[in-house]
Amino acid sequence: MSAIVDARLTEPRQLESSMTYGQAVSALVLEVLPWVVIEWDDNTSSRLLGRTVLVEEDRYGTLKDLVESVGKIMYWDHRGVLVIRTPPDPEQPVWDVTHGRDGVLVSMARELSRDGVYNAVVARGEGADTEVPIQAVVVDNDPRSPTYWHGPFGKVPRFYSSPLITDVAQAASAAASLLRKSLGLPYGVSFGTIVNPALEPFDPIRVTYPGRVERHIVETLTIPLTAGAAMTGTTREQTLTIIGAT
């Protein structure tokens, strides 16, 4: 991804409204890395942009906007493929991180912080044309959640704007996807476990330790290159979340 970030455009470029999302992403990526494979998890790649977009310099920023505006995430996987997909369902953990005998948990620590924690996303779509601006607002709507929109945590919205958003359903989808990545208790968990190379950022996991069973979303992972070291990472707890629209 560093190659994409560094390859800033030397002159403005226009993405026509008749282009599909797949064509727009391919144009930005393959110009820098012509040999790579781009993999979508559904037919969103065939959706038309629906609005002409002017790209000035930031190639990576535009690519990120294309992906986020349709509620997707992107990353390079272990195959070297650029994967664009819907974020995994937090309610379906892909791995159990347990402590004690026969467990995989080596160490664990917590750090309390409100940084990067939001309980609402306001997504707006407005271009340089005469189309009516679009807006959708989604919130953490679970009264049991520590970041409940009407609870003691307070109202902390995040704002996201993109000319690529052309209807309310798309705005709501993009807002919900972004909210899932920032919801959770205002503390982060760092851990060390037996190495599991199949685990990836954004994956939901179930963490069990004395007195608690929690669902977490993986944010970062570091896989060691030595046999005796533990895999480390950070997560955000998401045991109770219901996303609703306002």
Burial 83-109 (b: 16+ CB within 10 A, else e): bbbbbbebeebebebbeeeeebbeeee
From CA 231, how far away is CA 214, in angstroms rounded? 19
Residue labelled with tokens 């007195």: 211
Say whether both 37 and 141 belong to one domain: no
CB-CB contact of 120 with 140 (8 Å):
yes
Q: Which pLDDT score is estimated for 39?
A: 97
CB-CB contact of 195 with 224 (8 Å):
yes
pLDDT at 128 > cutoff 70: no
- pLDDT bin (cut points 50, 70, 90) of residue 188 is low
Say whether both 139 and 211 belong to one domain: yes
Closest CA to 19 of 164, 169, 170, 129: 164
Task: Give how many domains the chain has, as a whole number.
Answer: 2
Residue 202 identity (one-letter amino acid): F
Q: Which pLDDT score is estimated for 28?
A: 95
- pLDDT bin (cut points 50, 70, 90) of residue 190 is confident
**Residue 108 main-chain phi, psi, to 5 deg:** -160, 145
Say whether both 81 and 107 belong to one domain: no
**Residue 89 main-chain phi, psi, to 5 deg:** -70, 120
233 in any annotated domain: yes
pLDDT at 235 > cutoff 70: yes
**Residue 112 main-chain phi, psi, to 5 deg:** -80, 130
Q: pTM here?
A: 0.69
Say whether both 81 and 125 belong to one domain: no
Residue 55 identity (one-letter amino acid): V
At 33-48, the pLDDT tens digits run 999 999 999 999 999 9
Q: Which pLDDT score is estimated for 22?
A: 96
Q: Which pLDDT score is estimated for 180?
A: 81
From CA 95, how far away is CA 195, in angstroms rounded? 12
Say whether both 121 and 62 belong to one domain: no
DSSP sequence for 104-144: -EEEEEEEE--TT--SEEEEEE--SSSSPPEEEEEEE--TT
Say whether both 107 and 27 belong to one domain: no
pLDDT at 210 > cutoff 80: no
> What domain range is 28 assigned to?
2-85
Say whether both 220 and 167 belong to one domain: yes
Residue 66, classed as helix, strand or coil, is helix
90 in any annotated domain: no
At 65-111, the pLDDT tens digits run 999 999 899 999 889 999 999 988 878 888 888 887 878 878 877 77
Q: What is the CATH number of the domain that holds 13?
A: 3.55.50.10
- pLDDT bin (cut points 50, 70, 90) of residue 187 is low
pLDDT at 240 > cutoff 60: no
21-30 and 59-68 are packed helices; what angle lies between their axes, rounded to 10 degrees?
A: 150
